[in-house]
Structure 1
Amino acid sequence: MKKQILRYNANERTNHWVVSILFVLAALSGLALFHPALFWLTNLFGGGPWTRILHPFLGVGMFAMFLWLVIRFWRYNLFIKNDRIWLKNIGKVMKNEEEGVPPIGKYNPGQKLLFWALIVSMLVLAVTGVIMWRAYFSHFFGIDIIRLASLFHAAAAFVLVTAIIVHVYAAIWIKGSVGAMMSGWVSRAWAKKHHELWYDEVMRKEERKP
């Protein structure tokens, strides 16, 4: 019997890191255009004009790649009864005192909330970004619509950046999470401790194999 469990295959890991890289580039280019004090960031992209050209394409690429992750993982991020009880005991989880905390599936409720927050913010960014895309679409909209889109675009970007910061912090805080996204594998003990329902599901599938 293998001592480790495959949590993410090569395609899933590659997609995750491509989205991550595109997010960093889109965020930096967006910040460069957001405020004059951050305009120096345009040097990373070859200057102001190139930053304005590249930013929307980076955003489209990020959204398209993220959509594949949504299609792949949405079913694992549906809330179940145990999630509500888990959230009520979040204090115990934060202290690593998980006795009495109900077992959860492949993702914990915090990860599920983050997943849906990312979807909403990405959708808002995509729609408002198209409205603001001066080279191709903005001439179809009035100035008031474009201004409103700019406001919602900035708000959604703030939510997205904040969510990603929380995501990175949580991944570092829960030992083994970063390694899982690097190699794809987790130990059986890790899976049972943090995601017992998912662990049981994997074990049942292994037992059914010839």
Structure 2
Amino acid sequence: MKHLLCALLLASGAAWAQAPAAPASDAAAPAAAVAAPVPAAVGAVKSQNIFDVKPDASEEPGYAQQTNGERAKVQPGNNAPMWRQVRDGVTGYSSLPASQAPEAGNLIQPFAQYPGSRYTTAGQAWREVRNNWIIPYGAALLGITVLALAIFFVTKGTLGHADAEAGGRRIERFTPFERAAHWSNAIAFVTLAITGILMAFGKFFLLPVLGAQLFGWLAYAAKNVHNFMGPLFAVSLTVIIITFIKDNIANRADFVWLSKAGGMFTNKEVPSHRFNAGEKGMFWWGITIPGVFVVLSGLVLDKLIPGWGLLRGEMQIAHMVHATLALWMMALLLGHIYMGTIGMRGAYKAMKTGYVSEAWAREHHELWADDVRSGKIPAQRSGAAPAAQTTPSHPAVGGTS
């Protein structure tokens, strides 16, 4: 074994000694020839060693500031400079006039942070607010409201004892004009609520059932119905506010009603005027205040307010306000619809016919009934009462007809 190793060492040493030594004058020439760059043809793509380029940027100076043309010589197909300009909000060319489309040349919005979003591009921030907050928590709010009303109905049942159409004296609670304004606003709101729910939540519960094509047509129809029903809601809301505002001003009796929770935990309702504190709260916080902002934001989304809705940021803010307050209104008005139908005996008939019995008025709005009996408020505020509204033995309350 030792002899074999010695033989191998001797053979390698002899081979090294026999190799001819290159002249010193010729050694630099091949090196220079190898180092000299090969001139590139005119119009050809300049090559670059991939090991000289970092994964994120090149080491060569000015790499980050290169134009698309300069970058294409080094990395063909890499148009990062263009997208960097797009991200930074550089305005490109657009044939549309700035007065009609001020953002036509900007593909990506600048950075912004909306409530509940990260600091990112405005479009992504709006998407995060919509998908992470408005949609899931809005659906939860509506679901919890429906569940709470169902539990309340099971535990409490229909409130009240007197029927609005019971015999005896009759009091006109709502005039024909008031009922027309109410039903116009109610029909418009319910239509807007249904179409809004279809557009916001339909893809979660209808798309899997109907399929993409049928659901697409349904969503398209819902959008058009929503847009055309909006102006009717705006007009009827204005009429509702003007008509009922005088009877929804807070007074001392409302604070007493609130302190006793409206008699919810007793067997007797707290005396109130024509509308109690709960109904007044619904008028202000469930209809008037949110309704005004819902209408205004809807007009911005429809581009019906001159000078508004031309910028994407305005549309995003209008959409967030519109969707949030619309869900708030739907949740509260679900309670109003419940109390006006199955929640309180005689409430629906009062809005349907306009008249209630004196017994119903004294049970639910005792102070209002007292004012009618004393003559402060006429029992008949519209035209002559129908013959069925009074009985021979019981003339109309307050002596009016």
TM-score (norm 2): 0.47
The 5-angstrom pairing of residues 12-51 of structure 1 reads 12-35=178-201, 36-37=203-204, 47-51=218-222
Q: Which residue of 2 aligns with 1:108?
A: 276
Confirm or deny that 1:52 pairs with 2:223.
yes
8 Å Cα contact 2:308/2:314 also seen in 1: no
- Which secondary structure state, in structure 2, belongs to the residue aligned with residue 5 of structure 1? strand
8 Å Cα contact 1:5/1:188 also seen in 2: yes
Counterpart amino acid of 1:37? F
Counterparts of 1:106 and 1:43 in 2: how far apart (Å)? 48
TM-score (norm 1): 0.85
Q: Which residue of 2 aligns with 1:198?
A: 368
Q: Larger deviation: 194-203 or 35-44? A: 35-44
Corresponding pairs, count: 207
Q: Which residue of 2 aligns with 1:150?
A: 319
Q: Which residue of 1 aligns with 2:176?
A: 10
Deviation at 1:10, TM superposition (A): 1.9
Counterpart amino acid of 2:361? A
Q: Which residue of 2 aligns with 1:173?
A: 343
Deviation at 1:28, TM superposition (A): 1.4
Q: Which residue of 1 aligns with 2:160?
A: none
8 Å Cα contact 1:105/1:197 also seen in 2: yes
Q: Which has the higher helix share?
A: 1
Counterpart amino acid of 2:346? G
Distance 1:55 1:98, change over 3 A: same
8 Å Cα contact 2:303/2:309 also seen in 1: no
Q: 1:76 aligns with which of 239, 247, 253?
A: 247
Deviation at 1:138, TM superposition (A): 8.4
Counterparts of 2:293 and 2:226 in 1: how far apart (Å)? 16
Deviation at 1:149, TM superposition (A): 1.2
8 Å Cα contact 1:29/1:51 also seen in 2: yes
Aligned Cα root-mean-square deviation (Å): 2.9
Q: 2:288 aligns with which of 113, 116, 119?
A: 119
- Which secondary structure state, in structure 2, belongs to the residue aligned with residue 107 of structure 1? coil
Cα deviations by residue, 1:82-124 (Å, 9 ceiling, x for unpaired): 111111101x61145237x4x2110010000000021111111
- Which secondary structure state, in structure 1, belongs to the residue aligned with residue 171 of structure 2? strand
Deviation at 1:209, TM superposition (A): 4.5
Unaligned runs of 5+ in 1: none
Counterparts of 1:48 and 1:37 in 2: how far apart (Å)? 13
Deviation at 1:180, TM superposition (A): 0.3
Cα deviations by residue, 1:42-79 (Å, 9 ceiling, x for unpaired): 979x6343332331221220121121121111010000
Q: Which residue of 1 aligns with 2:257?
A: 86
Q: Which residue of 1 aligns with 2:300?
A: 131
Counterparts of 2:323 and 2:310 in 1: how far apart (Å)? 18
Which structure has the higher relative contact order (CA within 8 Å, separation 6+)? 1
Instruction: Using the aligned pairs only, state the percent identity.
Output: 26
Cα deviations by residue, 1:132-154 (Å, 9 ceiling, x for unpaired): 11588687432112111111111
